[in-house]
Amino acid sequence: MSEQPGRARRALEWLRDWSVELTFLAATSAAGIWAGGRWLDTTGDPGVWLSFAQRMAQGERLYRDLYIQYGPLSPLLFSATGKPFGFSLTWYLLANWIPAIVAGLLLLAAARPFLSRLDRLALVGLIVGLSVLAPRPARMILPYSPAAVHALCFSIGAFLLMPSRERGLWRAYAAGILAGLALCAKQEIGLAAILGLCAPLVTDGKKGVAWVFRCLVGFSAAASLGVVIVLGAGASLDSLRQDSHLWPMASMPPEWRLLSRKVAGFATVDWREALFNSAWELSKLILLVSLAGLCLAREKSKKRWWLTLGPLALLCTADLFRGRSLLPQVHPICLSMTAAFAVVLLAWFDKRRPGRDFFIGFGLFAGLVALRTAVSRDLASPYSGVSHFATCLTWLLLLLCLVPDRLPGGSSSARWARLVWTLVLLPMAWYWAANGIESLREEGRVPVATLRGDIFPDRRLGNLYARIGQELRPGERALFLPETSGLDVLFGVHDASPFLGHMPGWLDAHAEEVLIRRFETRPPDVIVIFDRPAQEFGVEQFGRGFGLRLAAWIESRYRPVANLRGGAIFRPRETPVSSLPSR
């Protein structure tokens, strides 16, 4: 009889211990079910990976037959897992959903030694709202690159081994191997991970050399395997540079530099002012929370009061002269990278802090990953969810652990300040989470039946996709410009191009020559050209701002059979036109 109460007590303890993780699973699962699949859309980058998977399973090889700038690990994983399921949309959904949820659970596990249960509940809201279910196309489910999500999983798994590195030598090798696998998925994330794992050199000096050396050995072993796969693909070094743009072998095309500046937030004229104002407002909020901590702790030291009230009064006085609101109006997203590096700096000076090596290493990792959206205030850019994922944790480490201990006041006021921060962050985080969940079921999406199931593009493309399904015949060779969007898989045709994306930077003069030479020998049976703007690259759309030679070649040999809002479908002319002017 005594065993039953004991089992019940252990079950309750387990539920309480894992309540935060269960909340995360429940919130994301309920959101996915509530949305009813309306967020399942292969348009743009997400569809590229659907095509990658099936084409590799059909015998085409990365880098030789399919051009990709990423490491080989993620395409291989997609192809291996999708083949048994016939590359169905159910598989595709789960193949994108599961890694994002695993990444969230790993981040919550990494926060356990440093944050309370209530603090981690705020972290759940941040993860859901800013990354996992962020407004499309930022969300980590159906992201711009599943390779980035895989790399985050491997990287955070490596950092989970750091706090317990003295328990066995294998942990260092394992951490290095995980960082190497991250490199094989998404190169820059893997490099950020291995740099973060070297933090014990700073915190432990000579004692950290053994850990770092073993990490580098494991990292080199995993990275070498990736290099062998790339070099064994049968592509020449010139092709890896010119066709695949494989980083770091290839330099970044000029069009991508412009895109990177825009995504990072540096293309706006007032980015310095916006960054300064956000830091200013955050400083006011920090001082107000510190003031609340002093009040709740009933601080008696006048010096501590003045060290908080003085700077706060100066900031508020300056706001009065500038005609600004005295209430803090913080836009924290543009400060995410800065906050991550602030964790590194503050932990550097706090030599007695437990877990100092993790603070420095993970803060460095989060800051480097966040460079992609360095000062951007856009929550819905394609790179936002991945960039802000690790900074969800560094924000809480900064505001709940490091900042309270550096402000005037003793340990009592610091504890109260942490509680105030939690009460401030908790509703804010779940407000973002609610917005992210609501975006899953966004209006204006229409169902389109395909051979693999229903997808839900926006209304502008819905009618075009439906017409494509009627026009294309299974087994035909099709060319989709400027993006394939996975339509070759969805409608049972073969993609005629080795490029799965033909946006600026990919479709340069060399690529046009390669494609035209290829199509002269074996032209596509059908061509679909989407009305896809390209202003983020600083040019007009295909046929006007880029791809002029290929567009002229198509116009001379193909005729439109359907011209709808969103794009057009072309079939070969009976008699090719000898010469047509460029568009």
pLDDT at 2 over 90: no
At how many degrees (to 10) do helices 356-369 and 146-160 cross? 170
Residue by residue, DSSP assigns 467-536 as HHHHH--TT-EEEEESB-TTHHHHTT-EE--S-SB-STTTSSHHHHHHHHHHHHHS--SEEEEE----GG
How is residue 219 written in tokens?
């990292």
Query: Residue ranges of the alpha helices (H) in 378-497?
Result: 384-396, 403-406, 411-439, 459-471, 487-490
Long-range Cβ pairs for the range 203-210 (8 Å, 24+): 203/356, 203/357, 203/360, 204/357, 208/357, 210/172
**137 against 123, higher pLDDT:** 123
* pLDDT, tens digit (0-9, with 9 covering 90-100), for 478-488: 999 999 999 99
Give 517's contacts (C-beta < 8 A, 6+ positions apart): none
pLDDT score recorded for residue 105: 97
CA distance 144 to 128: 17
pLDDT at 578 over 60: no
Question: Do residues 476 and 525 touch, judged by C-beta distance below 8 A?
Answer: yes
How is residue 325 written in tokens?
């609101």
Question: Within 10 Å of residue 541's Cβ, how many Cβ atoms?
Answer: 18
The stretch 386-403 carries a mean pLDDT of: 96
The stretch 442-449 carries a mean pLDDT of: 87
Q: Helices H, strands E: what count in the chain?
A: 24, 7
pLDDT at 575 over 80: no
In what order do the strands lie in the sheet containing 477-481? 494-495, 477-481, 526-530, 567-572, 558-564
* pLDDT, tens digit (0-9, with 9 covering 90-100), for 291-332: 898 898 887 888 888 888 888 889 888 888 887 877 777 788
Distance of CA 564 to the CA centre of its chain: 33
pLDDT score recorded for residue 580: 44
Sign of CA dihedral 98, 101, 107, 108: negative
SS (H, E, C) 201-237: HHHCHHHHHHHHHHHHHHHHHHHHHHHHHHHCCCCCH
- pLDDT grade, residue 444 (50/70/90)? confident
C-alpha dist (Å) from residue 443 to 35, 39, 384, 456: 11, 10, 22, 11
C-alpha dist (Å) from residue 126 to 23, 61, 74, 413, 424: 13, 39, 26, 26, 13
Stretch (H or E) spanning 454: strand 453-455
How is residue 54 written in tokens?
């099936």
Give 384's contacts (C-beta < 8 A, 6+ positions apart): 130, 134, 138, 333, 373, 376, 378
* pLDDT, tens digit (0-9, with 9 covering 90-100), for 530-545: 999 988 888 999 999 9
Burial of 398 (C-beta count, 10 Å sphere; 0-12/13-18/19+): buried
CA distance 321 to 312: 15
The distance between the two most distant Cα atoms of the chain, rounded to a whole number of Å, is 93
pLDDT score recorded for residue 167: 59
Give 29's contacts (C-beta < 8 A, 6+ positions apart): none
The stretch 121-125 carries a mean pLDDT of: 96
Question: Do residues 274 and 377 touch, judged by C-beta distance below 8 A?
Answer: yes
Query: Residue ranges of the alpha helices (H) in 68-136?
Result: 73-82, 89-111, 117-127
Stretch (H or E) spanning 141: none
The stretch 221-249 carries a mean pLDDT of: 92
**299 against 528, higher pLDDT:** 528
Question: Do residues 271 and 375 touch, judged by C-beta distance below 8 A?
Answer: yes
The stretch 284-296 carries a mean pLDDT of: 90
**577 against 35, higher pLDDT:** 35
pLDDT at 200 over 70: yes
CA distance 375 to 48: 28
pLDDT score recorded for residue 13: 84
DSSP 3-state assignment of 190? helix
Highest mean pLDDT pick, 99-103, 348-352, 469-473: 99-103
pLDDT score recorded for residue 579: 47
**27 against 582, higher pLDDT:** 27
The stretch 205-223 carries a mean pLDDT of: 92
Question: Do residues 260 and 371 touch, judged by C-beta distance below 8 A?
Answer: no
CA distance 472 to 491: 7
Sign of CA dihedral 458, 496, 259, 335: positive
pLDDT at 582 over 50: no
* pLDDT, tens digit (0-9, with 9 covering 90-100), for 468-480: 999 999 999 999 9
* Strands 526-530 and 477-481, bridge-based pairing: parallel
pLDDT score recorded for residue 227: 94
* Single pTM value for the model: 0.93
Residues forming a β-bridge with 477:
494
C-alpha dist (Å) from residue 102 to 106, 154, 342, 394: 6, 10, 27, 19
Question: Within 10 Å of residue 339's Cβ, how many Cβ atoms?
Answer: 23
* pLDDT, tens digit (0-9, with 9 covering 90-100), for 8-55: 788 888 888 899 999 999 999 999 999 888 888 999 888 889 998 999
pLDDT score recorded for residue 168: 67
Question: Do residues 385 and 134 touch, judged by C-beta distance below 8 A?
Answer: yes
Residue by residue, DSSP assigns 532-579 as ---GGGTS-SBTTTB-HHHHHHHHHHEEEEEEETTEEEEEE-SS--S-
- pLDDT grade, residue 385 (50/70/90)? very high
DSSP 3-state assignment of 68? coil
* pLDDT, tens digit (0-9, with 9 covering 90-100), for 491-503: 999 999 999 889 9
DSSP 3-state assignment of 62? strand
How is residue 257 written in tokens?
């530099």
